[in-house]
Amino acid sequence: MRYGFGCDHAGFELKEPLMAELAAAGHEVIDVGTYDAERVDFPVYAHKVAQAVSTGELDMGLLVCGTGLGMALAAGKYPNVRAVSVSESFSARMARRHNDANVLCLGARVLGTGAAVEILQAWLQEDFLGGRYAERLEMMRGGYKGVERNSSRC
C-alpha cells in the first residue's frame, strides 16, 4: 500500500522507527515532512497526508504529533478520511477491523518508541471486516435509516 507519513516537531523522534516499520512490512512510504525537530504547525502535515488519502492518491496515512489528537482532528475533516488517535494496540486493531480507519495518529509525548511500533504492527495486521461494519460506515456518511435497536447486530 502507499502510506503517507507526516509529523510535527513533537513527533519527529518517532519518524525513523515508524517509517522503517512500514517499509519492513512492504509498504511504500511517502514522507511529507517535517524533516527536522524545528517547531512547526501540525495541521500543515495532517493536511498533506489527509488530502492525498481523501483523493485516493494515497491508501493510508500515519501521522505523529505530541498527543496524536491534533493530527486526528485535522485529518478527520477531509472526505473519506477516517483518522483515529490511538495509544494502545487493541484500539488500533479495532479501528481497522470495525471502523476501516485509514489514518493512524500517534502521540510521541504519550508513547515510547516500542509502544508506538507495537501499535503500528497491530494496525498493519488487521483488515476491515465489512458487512454490518460497512453499513455503519454508510450510516456515518449520512445514510442513517432510523433503526435504533437491532439485537442481531452486536
Catalytic residues: 65, 98
Chain position carrying cell 502521540: 107
8 binds ligand RB5 (CB under 6 A): yes
Q: Among residues 39 and 145, whose Cβ is nearest to ligand RB5?
A: 39
Alpha-helix runs per DSSP H in the chain: 12-24, 42-55, 69-75, 89-97, 113-125, 132-138
Q: Measure the CA–CA gap between 53 and 5, rounded to whole angstroms.
A: 11
Give CA angle at 64 (59, 65), nearest 5°. Answer: 145
Q: Among residues 4 and 6, whose Cβ is nearest to ligand RB5?
A: 6
Q: Among residues 46 and 124, whose Cβ is nearest to ligand RB5?
A: 46
Residues 53-82 touching ligand RB5, rule: CB under 6 A, are 65-67, 69-70
Least Cβ distance, residue 38 to ligand RB5 (angstroms) = 12
42 binds ligand RB5 (CB under 6 A): yes
110 binds ligand RB5 (CB under 6 A): no
Least Cβ distance, residue 83 to ligand RB5 (angstroms) = 12
Q: Measure the CA–CA gap between 142 and 71, rounded to whole angstroms.
A: 24
Q: How many angstroms separate the Cα of 76 from the Cα of each of 50, 54, 84, 97?
A: 8, 10, 8, 18
Question: Which residues sit at the interface with ligand RB5, rule CB under 6 A?
Answer: 8, 10, 42, 65-67, 69-70
